[in-house]
Structure 1
Amino acid sequence: MTSKTSLFCALLLTLPLAHSAWADDAAQTVAKAGPAATAFSATQDQANAAKLVYGLLSDSRYAYRPKPLDDALSADMYKRYLESLDGGKQFFTAADIARFDRWKLRLDDALKSGELDPAYAMFATYRQRVDERVAFARELLKDDGAFDFSGDDRYEYDREDAPWAADSAELDTLWRQSVRNDWLRLRMAGKQPEDIRKTLDRRYENLAKGIAELKGEDVFQTFLNSYANAIDPHTDYLTPRSADNFNLSMSLSLEGIGAVLQKQDDVVAIREIVAGGPAGKSGLLNPGDRIVAVGQGTSGAMEDVVGWRIDDVVAKIRGKKGSKVRLDVIPVEMGLDSPPSRVVLVRDRVRLEDQAAKSKVITIPATDGAPVQRIGVIELPGFYQDFEGRRRNADDYASATRDVARLLTELRGKNVDGVVLDLRNNGGGSLNEAIELTGLFIDRGPVVQVRESGGRVVVNGDEDSGIAWEGPFAVLINRGSASASEIFAGAIQDYGRGLVIGETTFGKGTVQNLIDLDRWPANEAPRFGQVKLTIAQFFRVSGGSTQNKGVVPDIAFPASVDASEFGESTYDNALPWTKISAVPHVRYGNFEPLLPKLQTLHTARIAGDREFQWWSEDVAQYRAESEKTSVSLNEGVRRAERDREQAKRKARQEERKALGLALDPLADVTDDGLAASERDIVKDAEREKLAEDRPDPLLRESAAILADAVRLLDRDKQLSAQVLPTANQPGHWAD
């Protein structure tokens, strides 16, 4: 037995479940919550999992920044758990919080012992308060006198810094304004009172149902994450089911029927058919069809799944490749009381192509005697990798690097003059993929430095000779570009291999690994879940960290509307920025002499680019609106605001026509007052697809900046010698 195995077995053996005042306190809290409260309690597996998580996060052999589980951390856990239950302070009263406060400094002891009754008792109160609020809201809908919108009152929707409501009467006031706001939105969308009443009654009922559907494992995961997230922002606990879903998202594949599902009221419906999957090949299913029963194999019992949670329905439909599943389906054009049709499908491995890398070509017009430039664009939404497929050495395992390499070959065949890699909103993924992807653009060398919890620094790099793309290159980033995206963009910048364009990235400079908690007891089936654990911090080859500061672009412009509202610097327990020694690496180019010229051309171009100007205006408007914490409940004021917004959109569309610009397919879309689950599923999916075709001035401008660089360096050999001094080496900007 290894020392690490001994450690975790010892935790299981030396921290027994001890009945104490916990159970009595929790029972009293549940009793006060009311008869509708659900009293979950920890299973033996959950108690053991809690101890294992404690062992991991408090041990420097595993955690990069271990913290003692003491009263200070207990208070932090308590705050985070309350935020996860009622972050908007819409349900709990000050009296509830006063009762919970007895556990503020005792959650550490509860977690160590595996006796988690306080967490479940707090949730029981939460569920009861949700039921009470929903009952109040539904009753209010019957009062026509509540929906007069001629006054000057406002709905205060941002309660992050507000105190807890003193009592139920104060919550009644808050919810009355919330319901009135919901009513006003639907009224302004043209809905009649009876339709509004039915829509909102169903919405509030579904809110209560959604909370009632939560299971003990959901509460357990939420509570353990109040501990994990108190260690650092990127450490998480995953139940066995959540871990499976995480791995599927990384592998871009699953074994099932190839359909995207969505819950609508009590029924699960098909939102989208995945091309090439069993559902698509059969021709028997369509978007909007409702699934009401599921059966396994050719003769297993059909289980009625109406009213089920969507993840439970998904679990029944997924299964091993080659196995059969039977579905009872009510077609989209038929009412829910219609008899269903039976569909039999053979499950298969389905590749989620919509989430894979894609490419296109942007043409930059000729200017000042310079020829037309064709810039290839590769959009990479994540650094995905099928870890299991790679371990098996499968020929077709999903890999961001393999997909980008293939797309580069295709773009080379199209004779593009340069390539932009679009990493906007790419939140990262596999560290290995970030390293290998960098290797497509450099000829061997270090890519990232990784400092482990003990202080040892390991340099990881590209060891394969050869470059997949030697030509002009740029990387487009925004605030949503994080982790692996920052490793890649930072390496490209440090090597002088390409331009980095956009806005400063997220600032996530830590490395996580999935730790399977079942591996120590060697469980045959998943029982304890997994921990996504911060094990190291990465540094650029130049020595600086991206932690907190992110990657700063060479040419900057706003690339997301809400950049100031998220990112590593917004976390209260993020690791600070630091620096270590640089490692020797090739410097292919030095773009400093070129940047002033590129900035001048960029500034002049966007001054005449109406799409870019509109984007800048929208960013400024969003940021001004985000400073507000309330909205008017005066119908005249709200209609005037809406009319101004519609007039602005209409004027822009007319100007697009006059200038010969591509029209915005969503220019006429206005607030319908509906939640996503309340919309027509087929039309909503179509609208989502239309959004992909909206004009993208940021991507076009990035391509134009790269085209400027190519033209400037082609014209000015002296400047080119300054910028690309190693032009005779692999990685130079030429083919």
Structure 2
Amino acid sequence: MKQILLAVIIIFISITSFAQTTEHKNDNSVAIDTFKVLVPTKFNSRVDQIVTTLLTKYHYKKIDLNDSLSSIIFDNYIKSLDYNRVYFIKPDINNFERYRHLLDDYLLAGNLSFPFEVFNTYKTRMYSRVNYINKIMQQEFDYSTNESFTPMRDEAPWVEKESELDEIWRKRLKNDALNKHLQKEEWEKTSKTLTDRYKRFHKVILQYKEEDVFQLYMNALANAIDPHTSYFSPITSENFNISMSLSFEGIGASLMLKDDYTTIAKIIPGGPAAKSENLFENDRIVGVAQGEDGEVVDIVGWRLDDVIQLIRGKKGTMVRLSILRADATLDMPTEEVKLIRDKIKLEEQAASSKIIKIEEDGKIFKLGVLDIPTFYIDFEAQRKGDPDYKSTTRDVRKLIKELNKENVDGFIIDLRNNGGGSLQEAVELTGLFIKDGPVVQVKNSNGNIQVDEDPDKEIYTDKPLAVFINRYSASASEIFAGAIQDYGRGLIVGEQSFGKGTVQNLIDLNRFMPTKESELGKLKITIAKFYRITGSSTQKLGVIPEVEFPSIPRDKFGEASEPSALKWDQIRTTNFKKYGDLKNHLPSLLRKHKNRIENNLEFQYLLEDIQDYKTNKEKTQYSLNKDIRKKEREENEAKKSERENERVKKENFVVQEKDEVKKENLRVDDPLLEETGFILADLIIEQKVKK
């Protein structure tokens, strides 16, 4: 068994687990039985036992399958169907409670009565909700009354009666209708859009097959253990392979379903979304339209695979997305993002470089910026013996050589939004900046520790270095940044990183039960953890910069926000020799940084945005009064307009072919990169003085 696990290990690290992306399509020709009761298949029961055995024996976390874990699985599964507590009523939950401490035994026995009973009840409650929606949407709401809507009910008590659900749904629908009313949409269109939204969602639920219910339940188990362990049904695993190869034509983003919203899980470097610089992780897609003038299709509540089918299309065609920003509340207007579909190619994810000029203490510093969106390697070309195969390290080596010809004074490694990639490349890239020594430690589930070392005994550049990270920098990025920090080779600047310090293994379940009758799917299981050369894990903690930029709180973001995330811990340190010690420079660097950002308009905007985020996070209720909501929107728009006017006053314009054109302004276009440049310039000055 151990050999099989090792044979299929994938040392390919990324910021998120891939979300469910099955390829079932709505087939209008198939008759739908509204009251059909789903029951598990014999394969479901057998796969249940295989998955349970693999998780209990080979997961990095030593799992004790007991009543406590059973309770977590119970809650996870209920949440996967009704996270916001708007379908089930308390008598339903009371009925299900008899299973709460039995699921550990049921999993071992292949007993799937619980997930299918719960799902069949869910279908019944969904039917009731759709009937109510059809009724309530016959007449427009009165927007002049003073009442409020509470969107998040995940911690609210379950209501006793369906009549109480009716009132919750009335306010929910009124909130959605008011948003559209404020966008000047006619009631007839609003009524049809919202009615169709839930009819479509109901239809999707009615089309669920046994395999879909089983996958939900297996992931309730997997996510009770850790957030990066997942079960992929046969069809989902096919789409997983497509996502991993990045060979599809679309927008270049991984999606997940969160609270009925299709949410951006990850921006794929080199894709249309990344190139647009206008789509970000945790943004919510609420509508999709084709071409310049296609009608926007409301997709709230859609099944993820159907959303993907709507977004994908022929290369070169346009798709328009209606976006509710990650930090926007449900009463805020959406924004439209236009993207041209394209095929994502390896070379478009490649590292790139540019030079920025920073004036500090009366001197102009030329700084080489190396933008590394992912840690990549063309495994196929390498396997075939192609001497020119592409990899992060090879490309960065060439870029450093080119930048050195321009006599740059130092380098900024930009790892913002870099979710990881090849472990090998993270190690080898580190080797360009250190002479030799260990880079990362990998501890497997048996407690064995492997130390990966710099394979190149030469240092490629010894110029001053800053590594720029943010909250989306994860996994392989954290390995590189952590090693540079531990060696004292460079300064880490930005936000505390994501904190994904685990390794996953993808297992084909047909290896354990060979059958020609059916594909059994795959299991992605956590088998190892990463540790820095100091012995500290990157798990949950990530990498903490020496110079931290203002940032939103981490309580709802990053690995640490996941209830089942593996804990941070520490192992023994390795033997390594520090390149230098930057601690003595920090007081001066931090003082200058603080003085600069106090007078930097963009940093003040950032601080305002952080405060707004904190305020909005505490907001639990939203007015359903038209005048109040309209005033709130006008205030937000006025704030945006005021910012733009302030920026215009500070920007430089140049005349180009008789037209006034905005001159490229690093301070406005990328103020965080500019400040990183100032910090590195200060470090260069400090190091020269102390020499």
On whether the aligned pair clears a TM of 0.5, the verdict is yes
- Bigger Rg, which one: 1
Aligned to 1:705: 679
How far 1:67 sits from its partner (Å)?
1.3
For 1:331 and 1:654, the matched residues in 2 are separated by: 31
Aligned to 1:564: 555
The C-alpha deviation readout for 1:313-364, integer Å capped at 9, x for no partner, is: 989999xxxxxxx99x99999xxxxxxxxxxxxxxx9543597245353523
Identity of aligned residues (%): 41
Q: Secondary structure at the match of 2:352?
A: strand
Judged with a 3 Å threshold, the aligned counterparts in structure 2 of structure 1 residues 643 and 653 are, in CA distance, closer, same or farther, namely same
Q: Does the 8 Å contact 1:93/1:166 carry over to 2?
A: yes
Kindly provide the amino acid, as one letter, of the partner of residue 428 in structure 2: E
The C-alpha deviation readout for 1:247-278, integer Å capped at 9, x for no partner, is: 44444x32x66787999xxxxxxxx9x999xx
How far 1:163 sits from its partner (Å)?
0.9
The C-alpha deviation readout for 1:195-235, integer Å capped at 9, x for no partner, is: 32233233233332343344333322221111112222322
Aligned to 2:159: 165
Q: What stretches of structure 1 of length at least 5 have no aligned partner?
A: 7-33, 264-271, 277-285, 292-307, 319-325, 334-348, 664-691, 722-735
Kindly provide the amino acid, as one letter, of the partner of residue 39 in structure 1: V
For 1:439 and 1:3, the matched residues in 2 are separated by: 32
Aligned to 2:180: 186
The C-alpha deviation readout for 1:661-714, integer Å capped at 9, x for no partner, is: 699xxxxxxxxxxxxxxxxxxxxxxxxxxxx99833223222222222223333
Judged with a 3 Å threshold, the aligned counterparts in structure 2 of structure 1 residues 595 and 638 are, in CA distance, closer, same or farther, namely same
Q: Secondary structure at the match of 1:518?
A: helix
- Please, which of 125, 134, 141 is the counterpart of residue 138 of structure 1? 134
Aligned to 1:675: none
Aligned to 2:588: 597
Aligned to 1:100: 96
Q: Does the 8 Å contact 1:544/1:578 carry over to 2?
A: yes
Higher relative contact order (CA 8 A, sep 6+): 2
How far 1:555 sits from its partner (Å)?
0.3
| Residue 553 (structure 2) pairs with residue 577 (structure 1) | no
Aligned to 2:8: none
Judged with a 3 Å threshold, the aligned counterparts in structure 2 of structure 1 residues 477 and 528 are, in CA distance, closer, same or farther, namely same
Q: Which piece of structure 1 moves more, 566-575 or 165-174?
A: 566-575
How far 1:617 sits from its partner (Å)?
0.7
Q: Secondary structure at the match of 1:424?
A: coil
Aligned to 2:39: 41
| Residue 366 (structure 2) pairs with residue 373 (structure 1) | yes
| Residue 352 (structure 2) pairs with residue 359 (structure 1) | yes
Q: Does the 8 Å contact 1:422/1:476 carry over to 2?
A: yes
Q: Secondary structure at the match of 1:237?
A: strand
Judged with a 3 Å threshold, the aligned counterparts in structure 2 of structure 1 residues 310 and 457 are, in CA distance, closer, same or farther, namely closer
For 1:490 and 1:79, the matched residues in 2 are separated by: 36
How far 1:154 sits from its partner (Å)?
0.8
How far 1:391 sits from its partner (Å)?
5.2
Judged with a 3 Å threshold, the aligned counterparts in structure 2 of structure 1 residues 474 and 275 are, in CA distance, closer, same or farther, namely closer
Judged with a 3 Å threshold, the aligned counterparts in structure 2 of structure 1 residues 55 and 474 are, in CA distance, closer, same or farther, namely same
Judged with a 3 Å threshold, the aligned counterparts in structure 2 of structure 1 residues 620 and 316 are, in CA distance, closer, same or farther, namely closer
For 2:587 and 2:308, the matched residues in 1 are separated by: 54
Q: What stretches of structure 2 of length at least 5 have no aligned partner?
A: 6-31, 256-267, 273-288, 295-301, 321-341, 655-665
The C-alpha deviation readout for 1:465-504, integer Å capped at 9, x for no partner, is: 3344443222222233222222221111001121111122
Compute the TM-score of the two structures, normalised by the length of structure 2: 0.77
Kindly provide the amino acid, as one letter, of the partner of residue 457 in structure 2: S
| Residue 629 (structure 2) pairs with residue 638 (structure 1) | yes
Judged with a 3 Å threshold, the aligned counterparts in structure 2 of structure 1 residues 92 and 432 are, in CA distance, closer, same or farther, namely farther
Judged with a 3 Å threshold, the aligned counterparts in structure 2 of structure 1 residues 656 and 54 are, in CA distance, closer, same or farther, namely same
For 2:365 and 2:52, the matched residues in 1 are separated by: 61
Q: Does the 8 Å contact 1:289/1:330 carry over to 2?
A: no
For 1:313 and 1:151, the matched residues in 2 are separated by: 35
Trace 1:451-470 onto structure 2 (pairs within 5 A): 451-470=443-462
Aligned to 1:554: 546
Aligned to 1:199: 193
| Residue 119 (structure 2) pairs with residue 156 (structure 1) | no
For 2:232 and 2:501, the matched residues in 1 are separated by: 22
Judged with a 3 Å threshold, the aligned counterparts in structure 2 of structure 1 residues 609 and 259 are, in CA distance, closer, same or farther, namely closer
For 2:546 and 2:607, the matched residues in 1 are separated by: 19
For 1:376 and 1:3, the matched residues in 2 are separated by: 44
Kindly provide the amino acid, as one letter, of the partner of residue 571 in structure 2: I
Q: Secondary structure at the match of 1:636?
A: helix
Kindly provide the amino acid, as one letter, of the partner of residue 192 in structure 1: E
Trace 1:166-245 onto structure 2 (pairs within 5 A): 166-245=160-239
How far 1:117 sits from its partner (Å)?
3.3
Judged with a 3 Å threshold, the aligned counterparts in structure 2 of structure 1 residues 80 and 246 are, in CA distance, closer, same or farther, namely same
Trace 1:98-497 onto structure 2 (pairs within 5 A): 98-144=94-140, 147-251=141-245, 253-254=246-247, 288=291, 311=305, 351-352=344-345, 356-361=349-354, 363-380=356-373, 382-385=374-377, 399-412=391-404, 414-497=406-489
How many aligned positions are there?
A: 596
For 1:694 and 1:45, the matched residues in 2 are separated by: 58
For 1:361 and 1:176, the matched residues in 2 are separated by: 54
For 2:651 and 2:318, the matched residues in 1 are separated by: 42
Judged with a 3 Å threshold, the aligned counterparts in structure 2 of structure 1 residues 313 and 192 are, in CA distance, closer, same or farther, namely closer
Judged with a 3 Å threshold, the aligned counterparts in structure 2 of structure 1 residues 192 and 404 are, in CA distance, closer, same or farther, namely farther
The C-alpha deviation readout for 1:59-116, integer Å capped at 9, x for no partner, is: 1xx2211213232221111111111111111111111112222222222233223332
For 1:504 and 1:140, the matched residues in 2 are separated by: 47
For 2:646 and 2:190, the matched residues in 1 are separated by: 36
For 1:317 and 1:191, the matched residues in 2 are separated by: 24
Judged with a 3 Å threshold, the aligned counterparts in structure 2 of structure 1 residues 412 and 239 are, in CA distance, closer, same or farther, namely farther
Aligned to 1:617: 608
For 1:506 and 1:416, the matched residues in 2 are separated by: 30
Q: Secondary structure at the match of 2:583?
A: coil
